[in-house]
Structure 1
Amino acid sequence: MKRSPRLPCLPGYSINYNVGQTRFHLSNHLQYIHEGVPYFSSKELPGVGGAPLPGQVSPKYPSIYTRGEVAELPAWIVFDKHILKFDAFWLESAAFPEEGNRHFVHKCVVYFYLEDGTVKVVEPKIRNSGLPQGCLVHRQRIQYYRGDGSTNDNYDIIDFNIGKEVVIYGRKFTLVDCDKFTRQFLNRLGIPVPDPIVIPEDPYTKKREKIDGVPEKKRAGKAEAYDSAPKLDNRILGFKAYWDDRENPGGYLHLLNLIYFLSDGTIEVSDVTDPDKHYILVKRMRLPKEYKGLSMPGENDPMTLLNVIGDGKRPNRSIADPLDAGRSSKEFYRDKDITIGAVVNSFGRKFVVYDCDNFTKEYYKVKFGLDDFTPAPRPLTKEEVALTAAKEIGLQIAPYNGFGSYEDSLRNCLTVHPSQIVKSMKQFYEKDRFGYDSKILRFSAIMLSKDPVYHGRKYIISYFLADDTINIHDGETAPNTGVNGGMLISRRQILKPGQDIYSSKTPQYYDYRDLFIGNYLELEGHSFHIVGADEYALHYMETHPNEFPKSNVRQVLDKVRQAVKPIYKEFAAQFLKDSEFRTVPSLQFREAIINVLPDITEQEVLTLARYYRDKSENEKFSLDSIRRYAQDILKKELFDDFQGLREGFLHHDEDRKGFLTKKTAYSVIRGTKLPLDVEMIQVILEKLSVGEECHINYNEFIEFINYKTNPVPPIQPINISSAMSWQNLNRPEPHHTVNSIAIKGFVDDLMLEDSLKNQSA
């Protein structure tokens, strides 16, 4: 039921226009509603004499597509983030029209959002325009206004095209251009898009550009205009200069940073002699070339005032002197006056420019055509002279006396007033513990001692990457052994043996380069032989090969390649069996590498073994064992609806190809409530996936778990959730469990087939 807009919206005032009507269908037909482009539209409701009934609105076009040509999806999904963009303008009448300037032309952008038919209008902001710009109309549905003031409907896609005028809240926007996406989108809908239209010229903008480009005659009271201010705002020229004040008592050489602001020609100078304390020497100002003392009051004013009336009884009156007779002309430093080697006079101080930054070099190269930017020589500061002399003579540091740390003693020698040692926090921030990532490398070692009680005893060496400290604790503490376990060396930096600590030389400490499997260490009188490392340490060293070269597979492989190259034929023959390369035991692989490279370390051999180990040996669950586990669970849960499972697969396989994606197959299995754990389902799908896209043959999956048609022997039950979780399946094996090596990959990476051919020849 509809109502007349002339009647109030109250009960009893609504009119039912369907009284007496027997046919309520709406017929569709083609109607040319956009310059010859046909659309499907609904016929108007019958009215009196062909005119619409009171309250009746014009037809609404249901869709620009015919039914059945597109997917039945809502518009907010199909047209999500699809926006039509049009360039437009609107005219604003001038409040005080001048000659040739009766209106202002406002350029703006109109956005039409296809997902919901909303419209947004934005006028780009122009700096120093003096006009309120930005978002003129926030995103909303806009009603279409007729000439008589009545509303028809909201603006739709057919109302936006180049050359059309859109009235939004009393402002008439003329569309003149669109982007590439908008043009292609409308053309694919059958809507022709005209060529772009030229926006009318704005008289005010043209007048302003004329004034900025060709300055008019200066008038009294008008400040000097800089045409470069809008273009060069926030751009500066950076120079390095010095001021030699050593002739005056207590003076010294000042290192300066001179900054020239391109926007207004001002200069700022800061003293950077002390790297920790900077201060402004000359605040930002226009720097005059000649300094003749302090200016008199009113000398730098933009105009000269003349006192024409004033006798002391009445208020003084003054006018501006149009001749500027009392104004003194001053020249200020510009960008052309400051170059490398130039002397800048700053109120009697002579600043010598000796270098500049890269942006300044490009600026002078483009504007003035300069090519030579060689820094000019400058005198050395007092500190630089002292440092140079100390390097030539050799700085004598008092030897360490044993009190405190070596850094404390060195600090006392460098300054009379020692302060707290400031350590660099970069290493701490990068290598400190973060979550479960401990950043601690742990190695297992055995002690080498003459005492049989401690000889061969296992210890754990922990290296902290955050501060290069080491601690050592007992690795095997058993009761009634007569040996107290616990911490052997607390966490601290450990000096390397054979050093005279009571000297002026910087002591050497153990770091991460000294910790690797197979190395012998002398730690504060205790001898250790590193025999192993935990999985975290090995994985960390392998993922940081630049820091740990003995865990760098490429470097180790290059070393082996150079040693094997002369005897490659004999080396490869020992791994052949039945004319094929197969897996070999890790001990045989180790012996072969050591025979070729006697000086290779255990860490490097282990790196190769971990990289080329046989991946199949680490498979915890075979396909047969997983099948037995799955069928055993289905028997216990009394699941036998395999036909329903097949129907679920067929429902998603419309082409009846017999294959589904892993994601779709997992959804069907979970939807049919197959009584298998999530971990079990994921492992089975991973094993049965075929092809590069990992599709699943659902018939093979059904036969795999169907214990009625394809029964398998039972198996001892396990905890599926924990045993088949991703933590356990993806956890690398410890290094001591590398039993076999996939030797074919190792031989292929050596890339010595050409050498084998030469040796055979």
Structure 2
Amino acid sequence: MSSEPGPGLGLGLPFLPGCAFRDPMKTSFHRSQTLGYKNGFAFPRLPTVGIGRERLYVNQLSQAELDEISNKRPTLTYGRAKQAPPSSFIPAHVALDKKILKFDAYFQEDVPLSAEEHYRIRQVGIYYYLEDDSMSVIEPVVQNSGLPQGRLIRRHRVPKNDRGDHYHWKDLNRGMNITMYGRTYRIVDCDPFTQVFLESQGIELNPPEKMVFDPYTELRRMPMRKYITPSDFDQLKQFLTYDKQVLRFYATWDDTNSMFGENRPYIIHYYLADDTVEVREVYKQNDGRDPFPILIKRQRLPKTFVDKKKTFPSCVLEISDQEVLEWYTAKDFAVGKSTTLLGRTFFIYDCDEFTRNFYRDKFGITDFQPVEIIDKKPLEKVPQESPNPEDRKRRFILSYFLSNDMISIYEPPVRNSGIIGGKYLGKTRVAKPGSTTENAMYYEPSDLTIGSTIEVFGHRFVITDADEYVLNYMESNAESFPAATLQSLRDHFRPRQVVKETANSDIPMLGTHKQELDELIVQVQEEMKLHKYLNNKNIREAFLQCDKDGSGILDQAKFLALCNSLSVPTDAILLNKLIDLCSCGEDKINYRDFLRAFPS
């Protein structure tokens, strides 16, 4: 018996119990591959062997037999037909390489924050790449458009819907809308290649539409028509003839009629090359002025405006020929005459030699007699009394803070005093003279008596007056202050109270009125506890700073404005009643009685 079974051995024996046996020659039991590769492309093929690499003989044809059967034609009358050569296979990325469909389209974009345009039309090109069915949208770049232009949608397969479909070239046509990523594009036309390709595929194209342009862009492209008659005057000839030739005049500006005014000298330069004027100041050594040499920079100066009644901010805007009827020229300057330049009147009393020769040759003027300028007598010098005589008239406001025993000093600004007012000393604890680091002694409220001297870092301050609130506070807390301090304040305020009572003798303060005021203040204090945002300390300081003369009386309008700035609820019923009780007549308010409702 042969070791290899015959062709029918393996096929004739059924796989039954006792009839099956294992062939020891079989070592491979996998199925044969039915796919192959040719020139880089996959194609199917029929298996030639089965499991165990047994050859298959049933219905097995070779590749040559299959090719012969596929190309076999019926026999004609004149013999067998010629066998047609097999068609060559060309992949899509080769056949459709660099073949692109191009559509002209536009989309409308809203412009919500512009008063000149409500919408904007932006033209784009839609490109469809046939080799891989991808698309891209590109907007042509316009210079100085201010918009991010260029590639709006990068090249990829664009989704068509939520089901996973993508746009195909069969979905594109002229005269239709296409929505990509929430933006709708209107296709108006295509290029000739696209038209030929779509028609060759049996697609009927819609008629082309006209491209829509942006109305705002078209409006800006319209040229502004200007009808300006050319001037007969040759400015280039003037520049070449009079370049570096300047007329110089010596003038004064008399400002003695105004406060702190004086008669100051100036030099006026007139540039013949372009008819411009500049005014330069004349400085003397140790004249006490800042070195700003130019009063009026070089420019054309207007002499007569077209309409003097028309308000024109010439100090901030440039003046053109349309607003000026006549400009200053060389004829407007002469020795012994005055000229007004930008609101200042200058008197010309002399000029230099070049200016004399120019006027003599150009205008025939021969009289250049200079005018003598007589200075006014200076004010008599005030003899000095001390190294710092100005300190004798300086007034300060000293505030003592009971919460932390700190002192602050404020100097009210005095106009034309030569001293900058404001905060003189910030809140700090001030040590007494003779205080040392081992035994530090600081000023206390008992030291602040009328007429006492407070030495603050080498400067001495004499207490000349106080606020009535100080007296009221010390009287209400008499056990915390020395009797001498309290008595000095009472002696200081007694004459003032007598004067007030004498002045208001026709309107006496009744006992019932005072009792009513005290009861109302208690009620207001209870109500103000609900307004926790109020700062009584800031309210008191604001009123004290507003009272410059320390009279304790404020105008009703200023009083209400100050309450409004401090968020004091003056519209409350109790506060309105308190303000009425604090009224002194003639729209005056005694704010010190009002401040009793806001204890610190």
The two structures share one fold, judged by TM-score above 0.5: no
TM-score range, shorter chain: under 0.3
TM-score, normalised to structure 1, is 0.20
Mark the structure with the bigger radius of gyration: 2
Q: RCO (CA 8 Å, sep 6+): is it higher in 1 or 2?
A: 1
